[in-house]
Amino acid sequence: MGRILLVLFLSTWLTLGLAGLPVAVGGQALPSLAPMLDKATPAVVNIATRGKTKQRRQSPLYNDPFFQRFFNLPDVERTRETQSLGSGVIVDAQNGYILTNNHVIKNAYEITVTLTDGREMQADIIGSDADTDVAVIQVKADNLTELPIADSGQLRVGDFVVAIGNPFGLGQTVTSGIVSALGRSGLGLKSIEDFIQTDASINVGNSGGALVNLRGELIGINTAILNGGGASSGSIGIGFAIPINMAHEIMLQLVEFGQVQRGRLGAEGQDLTPELAQAFGVSLTSGFIVTQIESGSPADSAGIEIGDIITSANNKSIRSSQDIINLVGLLRMGQSMDVTLYRQGEKKQFEVIIQPIEVAMLEGKHLLQKLAGAKIGQVSESSLKYGLVTYLQVIEIKADSPAWRAGIRESDILYSINQQLIPTFEQALETIKNHQGDMILNIQRGNRALYLVIK
């Protein structure tokens, strides 16, 4: 009889559990996030923007410079009005600084911030950084609430987290979950990636919102969601947030300089694989193999060589090339990086001072009037495959300039004029001086090569 009563009791308890948790058990209230959220949610704001962006023709043929020249088409752009919704986090109530995503306020000429108490106010852009998708805006208001900042370096997979934002313009919404993974990179979302992955539901409008721990401390800035096809507008339980340690470091530079002052290492490479480790005769399981070094770069000056295997930097393990990109991208110019590497099986230590790489520059108009508006650099680098290589590359270009209208774009590598190689300024000037009429310029753009006719 006792067993029957026990079964009936358990059956009834499970049924109640499925229907919903009781408010209290044994007179004790169940745990609730409400007290923490009462303090945290006033620091998360809604952001609405109005902006303008230039839009080119949609057909890929219209974007091909050779096609435009062949059919004598004008290079026309039209301006389109844009609107966006997002979220932000007040991190400095006294100065009115709000952290958000770069893509939330990109191209905005008007930014409206709405607080949880209903107040609306205009915000100014302090600075933004596309490489990390971090931006700082500022409002002038009293009685603001800020979120305390935690150390995101202490996060562990399995920690409970709460996402706060304004999805779909519905108003402030709270979702909960756990940290699913740390150090996510290689997603192709941004140049510098070191994301916190969470299953807390993140949707459109959550961008720039807060990811907090159960103490109500800011641990990340929500930035992206993912589905089977990449970044999307619907959440399937895979969301990403920028660690607050990274976002805060970027914020400090944006507040001080209005931009991030990045230096460069000047070393390119690839991830160490088991096959490469065996070929190099090392027992390492991960690392970064240097395959290319820019002449005069910080890496070159420090004594790093092609074939070196970097395993750690500033006491952080280097597992892949993305680890190097992340680390260097967060260092300020003039800061040092202590590098541990293996050279022919021997462990070595180097100190690298991160600095901008000095590149010989020439205004495009000094080569050819049709290249006015472009700044062209003469770059030299050593590679494992080709040895020392020198080439001309477009470092900067002004929109609507003669060079732009000729079809030149930033980062284009200029290989030849009329099938004559032009690796240096001197050779380019000599080739142009001895030629009359139209010129055919061969360029490398990303992974493809194309020809431009310069009239």
Task: Identify the H or E element spanning 327.
Answer: helix 321-329
Question: How far apart (Å, rounded) are the C-alpha atoms in residues 40 and 415?
Answer: 56
- Catalytic hit among 185, 207, 320, 321: 207
Residue in 103, 297, 300, 380 annotated catalytic: 103
Taking the CB of residue 8, how many other CB atoms lie within 10 A of it?
Answer: 10
User: CA dihedral in degrees (348, 353, 357, 358; nearest 10)?
Assistant: -120
Q: The tokens of 450 are what? A: 């194309």
Q: Are 39 and 148 in contact (CB under 8 A)?
A: no
Asked if 452 and 408 count as a contact pair (C-beta separation under 8 A), the reply is yes
Residue 332 DSSP SS3? strand
Whether 207 is catalytic: yes
Query: In degrees, to the nearest 5, what angle opens at C-alpha 281 toward C-alphas 280 and 286?
Result: 70
**Active site includes 38?**
no
Which of 87, 128, 129, 133 is flagged as catalytic?
133
Is residue 248 part of the annotated active site? The answer reads no
Percent composition of the chain: helix, strand, coil (DSSP 3-state, to 5): 20, 40, 40
Instruction: Give which of 145, 250, 232 is closest to 194, Cα–Cα.
Output: 250
Amino acid at 31: P
Beta-sheet strands, E only, within 102-166: 108-114, 120-122, 124-129, 134-138, 160-165
Neighbour count for residue 122 (Cβ, 10 Å): 11
Gap between the Cα atoms of 62 and 75, Å rounded:
8
Residues with catalytic roles: 103, 133, 207
